[in-house]
Amino acid sequence: MKFEELDLNDDLLDALYDMRFATCTPVQELAIPKILAKHDLLASAQTGTGKTAAYLLPLLELLSRGDKTEDKVNVLILVPTRELAQQVDQLLEGFAYYSNVSWIAVSGGNDGVAFGQQQRAFEKGSDIVIATPGRLLSHLRFCDADLSGIRYLVLDEADRMLDIGFYDDIMEIISHLPKERQTMMFSATFPPEVEKLARNVLMNPEEVKIAVSKPADGITQGVYLLQETQKVPLILSLFGDQSYGKTIIFSSSKDKVKELYRELKRLRLSVAQMHSDLAQTERSQVMLDFKNNKIQILVATDLVARGIDIDDIELVVNFDVPLQAEDYVHRIGRTARAGAKGVGFTFVTPKDRFRFDKIEHFIEKQIPRYSLPENVAKLAAKVEDKPASPIVKKKFYGKRRYGNPQKRGNAKGNYKALSKH
């Protein structure tokens, strides 16, 4: 479907034309008419499917029709991270170029001047506020920010917000909103907490489901089975022997990120690091340089696993197996965006095998195994390709909340095996 076939005004269509947006993605084609029809929406779509435009465009259309309260905040978009807030802010700048709409991104990592600007936006009534829950709560608690005019609420990447632990914060924010509003929730996965949140905040929602929690078809996935001591040599071998395009290497800790960064720097590669020890200004500059091709390789924690709008990433490397199967989808989803092709490698050690088996079960696919380069293979014993053993869980014989400690019973039955994965 073409955007011009939707019920959008000429200002929006002109902006889309300037941005070279002509054809809707599936989630946009399904979601935009439902939002324009004033339905609550529960949408699931994998990363890179255009879901941000799926809610920004109809919201801009509804505001243009005068469906708003003057001098009040009318639209609240909650996002999990400041990086995603910046991405939505940048996309909104393009879509609203010809529209008479005001907005502001409200997130942490800024100085007192930025906080004051955000406070004034609440006082004057910015049409749209894009916010992280933590910073918005600061404005609610300390500045008595007025959200009484909210007509539209968007919860973007709801699963990620709940992973971070924002459930109570979200519910506190919602307690400040009018009960009569239109609510849209977008989530790539639907664990129990997301379903609970949906039940609490949505009213008879329409549903849109697009390829839930599966890697994009354009991603060539591969696995290296290896020992921990072979990981760094494999990285050095991969980037020393051949040239890849724009790459993200994900690691589980900032210490490993720093180590990898130093090793790749020694190879004179164009590399930068991204982790929580960097100041916000440094992180923003790194992402800008990466987007503008001044940096070829980004070594990062999961800080950038979601919400980064860069379409030309060719390779993603999971230096460590992600803790959650859903995170695997989001990590490798940084490549093969907007219909492009990409590659996702994962390094799996014996201790990672159970988590890796869960990933294959989750995506309902066996990921092809790749052979280690000869110079890396000889560094350690070969890892056999066999599933992890079933988990054995020991019974707990500690103190109850009330009463005396339990006496240890017969050793028989003190262990039980969980069901095989």
List the chain domain ranges.
3-210, 219-377
**Residue in the block written with tokens 């092709």:** 341
Q: Decide if 3-210 and 219-377 have a common fold.
A: yes
Is CATH 1.10.3720.10 what the domain over 219-377 is classified as, yes or no? no
Written as tens digits, the pLDDT of the chain (421 aa) is 999 999 999 999 999 999 989 999 899 999 999 999 999 999 987 666 788 999 999 999 999 998 888 899 999 999 998 888 988 999 999 999 999 999 999 987 666 788 888 999 898 889 999 999 999 999 999 999 999 999 999 999 898 888 788 999 999 999 999 999 999 999 887 888 899 999 999 999 999 987 655 787 889 999 999 999 999 999 999 987 667 889 999 998 889 999 999 999 998 889 999 887 888 788 888 988 998 999 999 999 876 655 566 778 999 999 999 887 778 888 888 888 777 889 999 999 999 999 999 899 888 899 999 999 999 999 999 999 998 765 544 444 444 433 444 433 443 343 333 333 3
Q: Which helix (H) or strand (E) holds 101?
A: none
End-to-end CA distance of the chain: 42
Helix (H, G, I), strand (E, B) or coil at 316: strand
Question: Considering the domain 3-210, what is its CATH architecture?
Answer: 3-Layer(aba) Sandwich (3.40)
How would you list the strands of the sheet with 369-370, edge to edge? 271-274, 297-300, 247-250, 315-318, 342-348, 219-225, 369-370
DSSP tag of 298:
E
Q: Backbone phi, then psi, for 298, in 5-degree steps?
A: -115, 120
Are 332 and 215 in contact, with CB atoms under 8 Å apart? yes
The DSSP 8-state label assigned to residue 212 in this structure reads T
